[in-house]
Structure 1
Amino acid sequence: MVEDGEKRAVGGRVVKVLVHRRDDRGMSLEPFASRCVRRGEVHELVTTDHEDTAAGARIDRVAFLGFVEIVNAGVIDRGDEVWCDGEFVGSVLGFDACHHPNHYNILITSPTPRTGPELGLRPEMDVLFSPAVVAVPAR
């Protein structure tokens, strides 16, 4: 059964580049597979090589990309593709709410956790959360 319908992509812009990484961060994956975001909100992007999507999964190995201002309201779903200035970064693993309501940590799974400078991020760079393309079986 298909649970979700079509949606628009969510755009953003980098407002601050982050340069650090941790192997003992202890983030906790929220039980929610999606979060609504409003225009003007600022959220933190964090890469990880963790892949477990179970609620409460501990996320330790992380690299911080930066903070992103949301340009258009929408829904960010687990599995959405994340693109920075046209370069594929990874897929949304989920959300950590340790700083909420100030901001969410949007966790992005990638083979190697990378920091903002390692991806060449800079302020005002475009960020896109795009629905993952899923092949629908022919009938």
Structure 2
Amino acid sequence: MIEDGPKRPVHSRVVKVLVHRRDDRGMRLEPFTSRCVRRGEVHELVTTDHPATAERIDRVGFLGFVEIDDAGVVDRGDEVWVDGEMIGTVLGFDACHHPNHYNILISTPSPRTGPEVGMHPERTVRFVQAPGVAARGPLSAVGVAR
């Protein structure tokens, strides 16, 4: 069964750069593989090397906060691009600060901070459907509700 059709990229702009990391953050992935985002919402971007199956996300690098340019859907597996450079893929969402904002967790080989990926205020950050996802069907995350 194919669940994922094509979608437009979600564009956003950096409003605040974060420069720190933690090894004891204790985030937890929401059981949902996608989240709708609205124009004007602000969300936090966090990198990690933990897998999607981790019970706790402790090793993290904080990139910063972005403001969503236009409404859209961010999915687990979306590529994350900062000014034309792919920095990782969406691992999932932590809602410890919701409804203020989501932490959008990004899978990277090691946790990275805002300056390490070239984040600056007003830089463009895009969430782009990975090539072939619409043709492949649902992402194969075990035990994850849509």
In the TM superposition, 1:6-25 aligns within 5 A as: 6-25=6-25
Query: What amino acid sits opposite 2:33 in the alignment?
Result: A
Which residue of structure 1 aligns with residue 5 of structure 2? 5
Count of aligned pairs between the two proteins: 135
Taking the aligned partners of 1:15 and 1:31, their CA distance within structure 2 comes to 28
Unaligned runs of 5+ in 2: 137-146
Scaled by the length of structure 1, the TM-score of the pair is 0.93
Q: CA deviation at 1:134?
A: 2.2
In the TM superposition, 1:104-115 aligns within 5 A as: 104-115=102-113
For the aligned residue pairs, the C-alpha RMSD in angstroms reads 1.3
Kept in 2: contact 1:53–1:93 (CA 8 A): no
In the TM superposition, 1:1-139 aligns within 5 A as: 1-53=1-53, 57-134=55-132, 136=135
Query: What amino acid sits opposite 2:69 in the alignment?
Result: V
Q: CA deviation at 1:51?
A: 1.4
Query: What amino acid sits opposite 1:23 in the alignment?
Result: D
Taking the aligned partners of 1:44 and 1:60, their CA distance within structure 2 comes to 16
Q: Which runs of 4+ in 1 moved over 6 A?
A: none
Unaligned runs of 5+ in 1: none
Write the deviation string for residues 22-72 of structure 1: whole angstroms up to 9, x where unpaired: 001000100000000000000000000011247xx2100000000000001
Identity %: 75
Scaled by the length of structure 2, the TM-score of the pair is 0.89
Which is richer in strand?
1
Query: What amino acid sits opposite 2:109 in the alignment?
Result: P
Taking the aligned partners of 1:11 and 1:78, their CA distance within structure 2 comes to 16
Write the deviation string for residues 74-102 of structure 1: whole angstroms up to 9, x where unpaired: 00000000000111110000000000000
